[in-house]
A and B are shown apart, each in its own frame.
Chain A
Amino acid sequence: MNWWVPIFVIVPLGGAFLTAIIGSFSQAFGRYFTSFLLALVTAFALYIMFTPIGTMVYRVGGHELFDTIPIAIYMVMDGLSLYLLVIINLIGFLSAFYSISYIKSFTSENYYYTLFFLMVAGMNGVVLSGDIFNLYVFLELAAIASYALVAFGIDKEELEASFKYQVLGGISSLLILLSIGLLYWSTSTLNIADISGIIRQNGSPEFIKFVSVILLTGFGLKAAMIPFHAWLPDAHSSAPSPISSMLSGVLIKAIGAYVILRLFFNMFAITYDISLVITIIGTLSMVVGVLLAIGQWDIKRLLAYHSISQMGYVVLGVGIGMLVIAQNGPRTVAAFAIGGGLYHLFNHAVFKGLLFLNAGAVEHSTGIRDMKRLGGLASKMPVTTSTSLSASMSISGIPPFNGFFSKLIIIMAAIQAHYFVLAILAVFVSIITLASFLKVQRFTFFNKEEEKWNLKGIYVKEVPFSMCFSMIFLAVLCLVLSVLVVPSVRDIVLTPAVNALLDSTVYSTTVLGY
């Protein structure tokens, strides 16, 4: 059963190059093949999640432990990896299905699907890798594919945004490589479980702090935390819309937030200083993101700034859990906080993906992205309006949508851990998010100006079937995901992920076997 683990990397890689070969003869092959293959991988991931298997450890190459030193390359699928695999492949499948009609108007369509497969393969590899240098290789694969995808339709704005993204992303990748080199220098091994064991026995605290700060800078830039957020508004607003939803929905989570969680919980020991820094970064992202967002008049730029704010919620929840563990507080409070953060991760992928797909649908029909010039679309585009309403209520935290439950859990955990200032800030940010999305809904869909479209000569109608299908699926998922609070479903989906982070030393004993 262990051989199921590399399938998640082999299938998208093979699909990418198969699309490149066959796509140069027939352009339509890549369209349907991508959605089909990603649907199969998502179904496989869901099947593994609902059968009780536990942690799967796979040694690539089959080399056994040599005198208790791990010499093979390890791939580990535990609760947290499986949770993220489901998110990545689900949003990937829906974005690929949406781009069947959206990308038809671009040239060289088969290269788009090749790069899309490579991005999904890279993200799957990051989530599954148990070896720190393998994680860097897959991270670069996903990042370089995303640089090329942001510049895909070759307008002036997309090229400038892609160049800015590439320079900042390149610097952060080099900082990550520097920190990998420093870790190898002090521990002379590359396996995450082995490094954690050696650091626990004889690591010097100053050196660990030095490497932690460089790692936090590098991965904080990939996860778009304040003050490393400067590339995100340009890159996410100028990309084609299915790529925006992939970037904002899964890329900043899989190569940003997931790696921070994995390395700071399971590799380094949790100390008070680093937890304080992570919580402060999360709070700053939350507040500054929403304050920068409320003044925007371009739909996609506003959504990109809100991504920064919602990722701040996730890091805040996890940071509170880290602080409670570092101060030897009650374990239930820490589990509550980390569970809230991870639940918000899934919710954000779903509703932010849906919001970007809606913005793409509006742009596809009317060609305008400035909210001051839009209005009155509710009667002409009913599917887009209703799904956008569902996503806006979800992000603002209105019951019974899923955003309400995850924000409630984070605020309650902050109150239980006696951080009242953070709880008040979280409520304040949620109110401003609600105001911001009321503005989006009014100016885009519900202004009573239907006749202005006939005057301008633009014929506005509903978007084609494949785009509607993805949007309706995600909107239904917004309601269905609130069922994750029910204890029986939560024990299958969320609790293995939380336990993988909470018992920090269980990771190394499971992987190495001693």
Chain B
Amino acid sequence: MTIIVQKVTQMMCGIIFLYGIYIIVHGHLTPGGGFAGGTIIAGSFILLVIAFGSEFLTLKKEETGSSLLESGAILVFLAIAAAGLLIGGVGIFFVNFLPKGTVGSLISAGIIPLFNIAIGIEVAAALLTIFLALLIYKEEST
């Protein structure tokens, strides 16, 4: 890619990453939430790979890492949901057991922000894995 694309990407990818984190964390106050924010974070990583290219072996290492991160995020999600089964008193799956604060502040609404963060990491890792898998297949069979 040309030098203009590379310079602009260098400046913008950090801002895009931060914007994605903002959308994930404020998921219970503004529209967006886990899935939309995760897509934006994946977009920032994919932009880096497209603009700068990469050696084949670095891509393989990245893909293993993101695949493990994706499965780990889903297991964290299942663990938080199933923890409701073990909380004393009422044993119900997916119950909202953390204290809910006031409407409109950042730390409120029980376990919903934790779910948003887990889903955001999972979606970003999944999209990155799909992109890297297709790229590795194209590279290794030409």
Contact = CB atoms under 8 A, between A and B. Distances in A.
Q: Do A and B come from one complex?
A: yes
Interface of A: 3, 6, 10, 13-14, 17-18, 20-21, 24, 58-62
B93 A60 contact: yes
Contact of A21 (B71, B90, B95): B71
Contact of A24 (B67, B74, B94): B67
B74 A10 contact: no
Nearest to A19: B71
Contacts of A14: 75, 78
Contacts of B82: 10
Contacts of B68: 21, 24
Contacts of B78: 10, 13-14, 17
Interface string B35-75: 00000000000000000000000000000100110011011
Contacts of A24: 64, 67-68
A20 B129 CA distance: 13
A132 B82 CA distance: 23
Contacts of A21: 68, 71-72, 75
Closest 9 CB pairs of A and B: A62-B92, A20-B71, A17-B71, A6-B93, A21-B71, A17-B74, A61-B94, A62-B95, A3-B91
A14 B96 CA distance: 20
Q: Is the interface of B mostly helix, strand, loop or mixed?
A: helix
17 contacts: A6-B93, A13-B74, A14-B75, A17-B71, A17-B72, A17-B78, A20-B67, A20-B71, A21-B68, A21-B71, A24-B64, A24-B67, A59-B92, A60-B93, A60-B94, A61-B93, A61-B95
A141 to B, nearest CB: 13
B92 A61 contact: yes
Nearest to B97: A62
A19 to B, nearest CB: 9
B114 interface: no
Contacts of B96: 61
Contacts of B67: 20, 24
Given A6-B93, A13-B78, A60-B92, 15 more contacts: A3-B85, A3-B92, A3-B93, A17-B71, A17-B72, A18-B71, A20-B67, A21-B72, A24-B64, A60-B93, A61-B92, A61-B95, A61-B96, A62-B92, A62-B95
A62 B90 CA distance: 9
Contacts of B91: 3
A3 B83 CA distance: 13
A21 B66 CA distance: 11
B68 to A, nearest CB: 6
B98 to A, nearest CB: 14
Interface in B67-114: 67-68, 71-72, 74-75, 78, 82, 85, 90-96
B108 to A, nearest CB: 18
A60 B75 CA distance: 19
A374 B82 CA distance: 52
A17 B71 CA distance: 5
Given A3-B85, A10-B82, A62-B90, A17 B75 contact: yes
Nearest to A22: B71
Nearest to A59: B92
A13 B77 CA distance: 11
A17 B78 CA distance: 10
B137 to A, nearest CB: 11
Contacts of B64: 24
Nearest to A10: B82
A58 B68 CA distance: 33
B74 to A, nearest CB: 5
A3 B94 CA distance: 12
A133 to B, nearest CB: 16
Contacts of B94: 60-62
